Amino acid sequence: MNLGWVRRSVSCAFLLSLFSSASFAQQKPITAREVVAEIQKHVGVEWREQTVDTFKAGNPDTPVTGIAVTMMATMEVLQRASEKGLNFVITHEPTFYAHLDVPEGMQESDPVWAEKRAFIEKHNMVVWRFHDHWHLRKPDGITAGVVHDLGWDKFQSAENQNLFVHPETTLKKLSEEVAKKLNSPIVRVVGDPDMKVTKIGMSLGAAGIQRHIPMLESDDVQALLIGEVPEWETIEYVADAVAQHRQKALVLIGHIPSEQPGMDEATRWLKTFVSGVPIEFVPTRQPMWEVK
C-alpha cells in the first residue's frame, strides 16, 4: 500500500471538510438575538435585569439582512428601513407610544397601533430598544453623539460631561448654533436673547424637572439645553427666574433632535464589532413644522 498516497488523501479530505464547514459558517446569517448578545458584550456596563432594552416586535431568531439604527421607530422609519432591506431595527425610544411599549388606555385593536404591528410582521422585521445601557455607558452614548455634532468636545468639563464653558456668546446666537448643528426645525427659548452666556448645562431628552432644577441652581449653568418638559415645570421655573432678573435661560431643542446624534454615534460604534450585514443610521424625521 502506498502510505504517502493515503496520507495525502486523508489530508485533502480533512482540509475539504474544514473548508466546507467554514463556508457553511460564513453563509449562516447572524440573527437579531445574536446581534444583541454582541452589543451586551461590548457596551462596557453590566446588563440590568430590569430594563426597557428588550425586543418589542418580531422574532428575535430572525436572520438579519441589515440593521437600521434610529432614534424612534416611527411608521415612516420602518417603511424606509424595509425599502432598504434593513429588517432589524434598533431604536432608542419606544415604538408603541409608551415607555414600556404598552400604551395605557389604548385597545390593541386601535387602527394605528394595529397597522404598525402588522407592517412589522408582514415585512419580517424585528424591533429592539437600546436606551438604558446606551445612556449608562461611559461616556453616555447619547451625550457623546450630541457633543460630536455640536463640536463642543473642547468646551466640555473633564469632571462632568453635561457641563460646558463656551466662548462668550449671546443666548440668541447660542440657540441659533444649537438649532443649526442639531438640525432642529423648532427651538424654543426662555430668557433674554441678548444675555451673555459662557456656562452651559445639558440635560437631553425628557430628563425631567428633578434633574433640571439642580443644574439651574448651580453657578456653573447660565443656560440649560434640554429636549422637552411639561410647560408648567422647568419652563415656568426659568420664566420666573428671568422675571426675578436672574441670569438663567432655557433652550428647548425638541426630544428627537436633542438625542438623535447619539444614535448616529451608536451606528458608528456597532460597525466596529458587527460585520457581515449592512448597518445604516435611519434618522427619525421631526414630525413638526413651524407656523410663521
Count other C-beta atoms under 10 Å from residue 119's C-beta: 15
pLDDT bin (cut points 50, 70, 90) of residue 16 is very low
Alpha carbon distance 265, 260 (integer Å): 9
pLDDT of residue 174: 98
Across 186-199, average pLDDT: 97
pLDDT in tens, 124-165: 999 999 999 999 999 999 999 999 999 999 999 999 999 999
**Bigger pLDDT: 286 vs 251:** 251
pLDDT of residue 152: 98
Out of 6-10, 151-155, 217-221, 275-279, pick the least confident: 6-10
Alpha carbon distance 120, 53 (integer Å): 18
What percentage of the chain carries pLDDT values higher than 70?
Answer: 91
Across 195-205, average pLDDT: 98
pLDDT of residue 257: 97
pLDDT of residue 2: 53
Across 68-90, average pLDDT: 98
Across 51-70, average pLDDT: 98
pLDDT of residue 21: 43
The answer to whether 207 and 185 have CB atoms below 8 angstroms apart is: no
pLDDT of residue 15: 45
Across 222-237, average pLDDT: 98
Across 106-134, average pLDDT: 97
Sequence-distant (≥ 6) Cβ neighbours of residue 142 within 8 angstroms: 92, 134, 135, 204, 205, 259, 261, 262, 263, 265
Mean pLDDT of the chain: 92
**Phi and psi, residue 2, nearest 5°:** -85, 100
Q: Which residue, chain included where needed, has cell 397601533?
A: 113
pLDDT bin (cut points 50, 70, 90) of residue 272 is very high
pLDDT of residue 22: 42
What percentage of the chain carries pLDDT values higher than 90?
Answer: 88
